[in-house]
A and B are shown apart, each in its own frame.
Chain A
Amino acid sequence: MKILIASFAVVFLITFLATPTMGAGWFWDGGNAIGFSAFAGLIYLTITSAKRVDVRAHLLLGYGVLFVAAAHVFWFLLGDAAAVEFVKVGAPDYMWLGIVSFLLLCVLMTIAVVPDRVRVHKNYAMFRYWHQVLAVAAIASATYHIVVSNFYLGRWYQGLLFVAVAGAAAFGRPYWITLKRLEIVPNSIFLLVSVIFCTLFVVVRNFPV
């Protein structure tokens, strides 16, 4: 639970380091807060999987993270009639990387579940290797999508910190593995924490001053 709160707190606090009250309206801020929640969930999944992972809990929370990431995508696609231009040819590269990140999540989850896992990977070690590679690629593309879109992370040090957090989660395995086994929270807790952080994010940025 502490790691989950820490993941959310770090991700959301970085957005508040500069211009904490700058908002783009509840709709836009809400959709992006959902995206930040999905990213925090991805970070949490990565950190907690370093040592003797509870496979079923990891899988179920993976579905939860994918659900929140999908909510971020469909929030904008269904709510803003012009946002669909961002999934067409000619969209900015940071939007394409967001799509790539979402598709990587889908792929890495699809080929992680039996029977597809057995069809795709020769053995468990090979699966573990490629699962980590795809997870790192998903984190990297999501980080690019968030940092380069450059609204809530408008200052250089915010971008740098965000990249550092993503890098620590993706490549900090030698450290995370030294921690004791970390319990993975159920989806109900993950979704509750997401709702709380999203609400705070939207309220702070849209509270009339």
Chain B
Amino acid sequence: MKTVTAILVVIVLLVVVFGSPFAGDAPIHDYHYGSLEPILPMSFAHVDHMQENCVVCHHNYADNTGGGLCMTCHVTDPAIWPLFEQQYHALCRDCHAEKAAQGVDGGPPRECMACHLGDDFP
């Protein structure tokens, strides 16, 4: 049993360090969009979100906080950067999940790689 446990732990560590040999293209964990810490890249296309009200994401249109691109503040401002992952999963992934719950094709509700390969992946 100790051998089995050790083998499982070693495999997990190898996957963490070198990545999965079966998963295909992997996201590059790096300083994207001027982030303060390495983050995963993200995919987003306005054209896929035209049916949404702009202020759902662009809160600054309604509350006058911030401006410019989302990442201008959300990955560079030390005050709000720690909330980044939580906020974006709540905004993007949970909205996709709500659509899925309604039986509407509203984008990937869970699959990490569907969003995290990044728009600029070669």
Interface residues of A, Cβ cutoff 8 Å to B:
19, 21-25, 27-28, 66, 70, 73-74, 77-85, 87-88, 90, 106-107, 109-110, 113, 116, 151, 154, 209
Question: How many B residues, CB 8 Å from partner?
Answer: 33
Do residues A83 and B112 form an inter-chain contact, with CB atoms below 8 A? yes
Question: Which residues of A are found within 8 Å of B111, using beta-carbon distances?
Answer: 24-25, 27-28, 80
Report whether over half of chain B's contact residues are helix, strand or loop; otherwise say mixed.
Answer: loop
Determine whether the beta carbon of B22 is less than 8 Å from that of A78. Answer: yes
Spell out B's residues near A (CB within 8 Å).
1-2, 4-5, 8, 11-12, 15-16, 19-27, 29, 40, 85, 97, 100-101, 103, 108-113, 116-117
Which secondary structure dominates where chain A touches chain B? helix
A12 and B65 CA atoms in complex are apart in Å by: 44
Residue from the list B19, B100, B108 in contact with A81, Cβ < 8 A: B19
The answer to whether B16 touches A88, judged by C-beta atoms less than 8 angstroms apart, is yes
Report yes or no: B103 in contact with A151, Cβ–Cβ below 8 A.
no
CA distance in complex: A162, B78 (Å): 38
Which residues of the other chain, B, contact A110 by a CB distance below 8 angstroms?
1-2, 5
Contact A21 B12 (CB under 8 A): no
Which residues in A have their C-beta under 8 angstroms from that of B103?
21-22, 209
